[in-house]
Homo-oligomer: A and B are copies of this chain.
């Protein structure tokens, strides 16, 4: 099974993670919860050192964008919130050990599937120090070891956080290698990590489309891609337009930077005249910009020149992540479905309609992680779906689809017992 990747610079780190994963897999739920409590407390009691390291990152990021610096910045309050999140993960039920199913077979074999940790999880993510703790807590809760590779802008913060995490592990009598970070900014190490399939069981990339594509192309480790959301809302000809306005506002305005925010509206031509002027009026309140196709443009008149612009063809494939919204008029549901097929990212798609047959067809034909009828795309979220926690949102189809809860950090083992039974 082993690759002859003898000179992988992460070889010893990978091996240490695999060894540590064995100790973690054997822990009781109580032991894991004690560890998480120790960690949460340590994040607060050792705040000074963490914030000092964070200031080094912030100084180095002086010339960077405000939004990046904001994601990067920690303070007492944010650190307390991060610790509180660890305590929330602690309070969740432990999925490990659950028996998924089983039966006594005619052969005399008593068979069951037991849920077990994956082993070693690797995460590659953006410059957000809170993700370091977040992913750590979820992996420890499920008895996994983890290898972290955060954005290069967070090297000092992550080094400090991982030091605190490793102390918590040591204080609990556990191997510190259960949580390791690659803090070097050497990009070649990402390739080395992607080739560490001898030790790593699952890779979760969190970031832009480029990172996901690179992982899909280069990774020898099974990878969960996702998180890119070019989401659509179809406004059917029978939709309740008053309520539709509320849903579209929610899906676009509540948090435009989220992957489950809507990027393109597909409005049936029969209701375009009634709906589009009201849409413009509603979203104008939030300084939204509507990118309208040539069939939609005439319905807006000329009064809103600044906030209505003609759509460019490439816009349909853009994840705006801003208060921009593509608006296209569709002559039929088939036309809307074809648009989603061509431009969707299999994340979250919604239809607003009073027509049951139309709703049924939409649910059947749209191939996405989450499909909604008369609901906002913003619901695609581990917390909203009642999973308690969210590891990532998968837009691929294997292992996990859509919001991934703690279960997605586990696999199962077939266990067969008998009285020296043999196969006939």
List A residues at the B interface (Cβ < 8 Å).
Answer: 1, 3, 22, 25-26, 103, 105, 107, 109, 111, 116, 118-119, 197, 201-202, 209, 213, 216-217, 220, 222-224, 228, 240, 243-244, 246-247, 249-251, 254, 345-346, 352, 359, 363-365, 367-376, 378-381, 384-386, 396-399, 401-403, 411-423
In the complex, the answer to whether A240 meets B202 with C-beta atoms within 8 Å is no
Whose C-beta in chain B lies nearest to the C-beta of A419?
B374
Contacts A240-B420, A247-B420, A373-B417 supplied; 12 other A-B pairs, CB < 8 Å: A109-B384, A111-B386, A118-B398, A217-B220, A247-B422, A368-B413, A369-B414, A370-B415, A370-B416, A376-B423, A379-B423, A402-B414
Q: Which residues of B contact A381 (CB under 8 A)?
A: 423
Alpha-carbon separation in the docked complex, A378 to B109 (Å): 12
Q: Which residues of B contact A402 (CB under 8 A)?
A: 414
Contact of A386 among B1, B105, B249, B385 (CB under 8 A): B105
Q: Which residues of B contact A414 (CB under 8 A)?
A: 369-371, 380, 385, 401-403
With contacts A246-B420, A386-B103 taken as known, whether A401 is within 8 angstroms of B397 at the C-beta atoms is no
Counting every copy of the chain, the complex holds 2
With contacts A1-B345, A417-B372 taken as known, whether A411 is within 8 angstroms of B398 at the C-beta atoms is yes
With contacts A228-B1, A397-B411, A398-B411 taken as known, whether A422 is within 8 angstroms of B371 at the C-beta atoms is no
Alpha-carbon separation in the docked complex, A228 to B1 (Å): 9
In the complex, the answer to whether B397 meets A119 with C-beta atoms within 8 Å is yes
Q: Which residues of B contact A373 (CB under 8 A)?
A: 415-418
In the complex, the answer to whether A416 meets B222 with C-beta atoms within 8 Å is no
Q: How far is the CB of A337 from chain B (nearest CB, A)?
A: 10
In the complex, the answer to whether B375 meets A418 with C-beta atoms within 8 Å is yes
In the complex, the answer to whether B401 meets A398 with C-beta atoms within 8 Å is no
